[in-house]
Amino acid sequence: VAISGNTHAVKYSTDNGATWTESTMDTSLDSTPGNWSKVEFGNGRFVAISKDEKPSVYSFDGITWYQSNLTVKGTILTYGNGVFVVINVEDGICCQSEDGFNWRILDGEVSPYTALGFTFDDVTKKGWFLTISDTGAAYKISTGSRAAARAKVENTSITSIGMLQAGSGYDVPPTVQVF
């Protein structure tokens, strides 16, 4: 999927880029052409961010787009550790989302940074988002997806708990409480 920086055009390919089909993003999502600044794929969906005060959008197919629940004015977006991370360098705000719809603001100062990437530590094998400024200063952001489990119930008793998503980005392994 590619989003035009000058119009509301969206191009998508279903054959690994051999051919491209053009569609138009609904102007109610962002009425100003050229405001879409970045699109990223992860967790089975595309997420696009706008440079103005409009909500981010997400799509499962690159054709139909849906509005998120939070205005995320962003200039930098990437995916890793099971989450999307967006930074608005003008306002110094950094947000994360597992699904492109629900966003939360992360703590930390990121305003002087102009690049964002995802990498793994060779020693700990932990994933980090890394921002880098024009002067070479760096800031690590530790975040990731939440763990999710499902209980198997038989005859009104829990017989087992299976992990659906192990989660990522933990400083300390999460604890499991069963009541």
Evaluate if residue 162 carries a pLDDT over 80. no
| Strand residues in the chain grouped as ranges (E) | 2-3, 9-12, 21-24, 36-42, 45-50, 55-59, 66-71, 76-80, 83-88, 93-97, 104-106, 113-120, 127-133, 138-141, 148-154, 157-165
Residue 177 corresponds to which tokens in the numbers above?
């409480």
Q: Between 62 and 144, whose confidence is greater?
A: 62
Residue 133 corresponds to which tokens in the numbers above?
């400024």
CA 108 from centre of chain:
17
- The pLDDT of 66-95, averaged and rounded, is 80
Confidence (pLDDT) at 110: 57
pLDDT band with cut points at 50, 70 and 90 for residue 78: confident
User: How many CB atoms within 10 Å of residue 76?
Assistant: 20
User: How many CB atoms within 10 Å of residue 130?
Assistant: 16
Evaluate if residue 48 carries a pLDDT over 80. yes
Confidence (pLDDT) at 145: 60
User: How many CB atoms within 10 Å of residue 101?
Assistant: 17
Confidence (pLDDT) at 174: 60
Least confident window among 57-66, 67-76, 143-152, 153-162: 143-152
Closest CA to 3 of 16, 17, 22: 22
Evaluate if residue 152 carries a pLDDT over 80. yes
pLDDT in tens, 51-63: 777 788 889 988 8
Confidence (pLDDT) at 166: 56
| Residue partners of 14: CB distance under 8 A and separation at least 6 | 21
Q: Percent of the chain scored above 70 by pLDDT?
A: 75
| Residue partners of 164: CB distance under 8 A and separation at least 6 | 148, 149, 150
Confidence (pLDDT) at 45: 92
Q: Between 150 and 87, whose confidence is greater?
A: 87
Confidence (pLDDT) at 81: 81
pTM beyond 0.75, yes or no: no
CA within 13 Å, CB half, 58: 20
